[in-house]
Amino acid sequence: MPDGSDRYAEAGVHLDILDALKTHIVALTRKTRRPEVLSREGAFGGLFAIGSLEIPDPVLVSSMDGVGTKIKIACLSGKHSGIGADIVNHSINDILTCGAQPLFFMDYLASGRVDPQVIAEVIGSLADACVESGMALLGGETAEMPDMYAGGEYDLAGCIVGVVSRNKIIDGQSIRPGDRILGLTSNGLHTNGYSLVRRIFLSELQWSLDRYVEEFQSTLAEELLRPHRSYLAEITRLLRNNLVQGLAHITGGGFYGNLPRILPDGCGARIDANAWEPLPVFQRIQKLGHVRPEEMYRVFNMGMGFLVVVHPGHSESAIEEIPELLPIGEVISGKEVVIEGI
């Protein structure tokens, strides 16, 4: 080995630690391996043979995103076990709106100073989420970048690739006024609105993350760090039965920002906010933070993480297939999203 690595350590980059960490990460990725993966661990690029999938007229679907400032809560509380699942499940839900099944995932994790225990916890969570969805963790990058991040902080982003047959693509173009909107519940904030949440709970109210909150039946940290839910299993069943006209993942932008992304020209949506009760965390945010109702539905999922648009005649069949689905609205003529009952 050439001399000089100690000077790099003086500059804040610890190659020995990074090399040891890569060995551990390789072991984590190995358990996610699928038969279509052709590359060996540690290669410069990941190889995935889509031809062996036997999917007619395959179309690849990709998306890239980050966890955002939810990571600040993880760093402050020292609890990182769900952060990897956050980025994986969020990404799965995004490509699921096109009808795509996930194939492989790649991550990028950067920090000012590598903490092997934290990184292993995050990547371990990420790998577990990949295994749960049947997706390969094809590769990634772990970077130590002194002076770019505050001590003890990191950032996590990921890229997902999935596949769908061309004639099975869900693009919302068949949606018409009168179609029903059904919802699948969230388990909390998922990965959106954390800048506002931190301002209200930590800055304005000065609550401790260890504070037990009766309404949450957990500490504040546990509530805020609930992993983003994946809707892969439920939506796949609906897709196999050809019951879907459109799909929306309610993330940043809430109802007002995400529903219009799937509606064709001339279509808007009416949502009945009385069809479900927002989770306690949203109620507390709105009340204690003095947040207008309209803003709540523009920032947060309000307890509805994924929406399914079906033709009126398919509504009962969809609910029979997935009893958790709740009728929460309908498609209307126009172009606006109207939320009634707020």
SS (H, E, C) the chain: CCCCHHHHHHCCCCHHHHHHHHHHHHHHHHCCCCCCECCCCCCCCCCECHHHHCCCCEEEEEEEEECCCHHHHHHHHCCCCCHHHHHHHHHHHHHHCCCCEEEEEEEEEEECCCCHHHHHHHHHHHHHHHHHHCCEEEEEEEEECCCCCCCCCEEEEEEEEEEEEHHHCCCCCCCCCCCEEEEEECCCCCCCCHHHHHHHHHHHCCCCCCCEECCCCEEHHHHHCCCCCCCHHHHHHHHHCCCCCEEEECCCCHHHHHHHHCCCCCEEEEEEHHHCCCCHHHHHHHHHHCCCHHHHHHHCCCCEEEEEEECHHHHHHHHHHCCCCEEEEEEEECCCEEEECC
Q: Which residue has the tokens 């000077």?
A: 7
Per-residue confidence in pLDDT tens, the chain, 342 aa: 455 558 888 788 887 777 777 777 887 788 899 999 998 887 888 999 998 898 999 999 999 999 999 999 999 999 999 999 999 999 999 999 999 999 999 999 999 998 999 999 999 999 999 999 999 999 999 999 998 998 889 999 999 999 999 999 999 999 999 999 999 999 999 999 999 999 999 999 999 999 999 999 999 999 999 999 999 999 999 999 999 999 999 999 999 999 999 999 999 999 999 999 999 999 999 999 999 999 999 999 999 999 999 999 999 999 999 999 999 999 999 989 999 999
pLDDT at 316: 96
Distance CA 255, CA 294 (A): 10
Tokens representing 252 are 């940043």
Single pTM value for the model: 0.93
pLDDT computed for residue 5 by the predictor: 56
Q: In this structure, what token pair is assigned to residue 127? A: 């790998």
- Two tokens at 140? 């990634």
What is the spatial distance between Cα 317 and Cα 295, in angstroms, rounded to a whole number?
Answer: 34
As a whole number of angstroms, the distance between CA 268 and CA 337 comes to 5
Place of tokens 């760090």: 225
Mark 72-84 as b/e (b = at least 16 C-beta within 10 Å): bbbbbbebbebbb
**Token duo for residue 25:** 């990460």
The CATH T-level fold of domain 5-168 is: 60s Ribosomal Protein L30; Chain: A; (3.30.1330)
Closest C-alpha to 140, from 128, 118, 163, 156: 156
Contact 314, 178 (CB under 8 A): no
As given in the structure block, the two tokens for residue 238 are: 């609906």
Paired sense of beta strands 337-340 and 267-272, if any: parallel
CATH number belonging to the domain at 180-340, selected among 3.40.50.10860, 3.90.650.10, 3.90.1170.50, 3.90.700.10? 3.90.650.10
Radius of gyration of the chain (CA): 21
Cβ-based neighbours of 24, under 8 Å, separated by 6 or more: 116, 120
Q: And the tokens for 196?
A: 């506002």
**Domain residue limits, the chain:** 5-168, 180-340
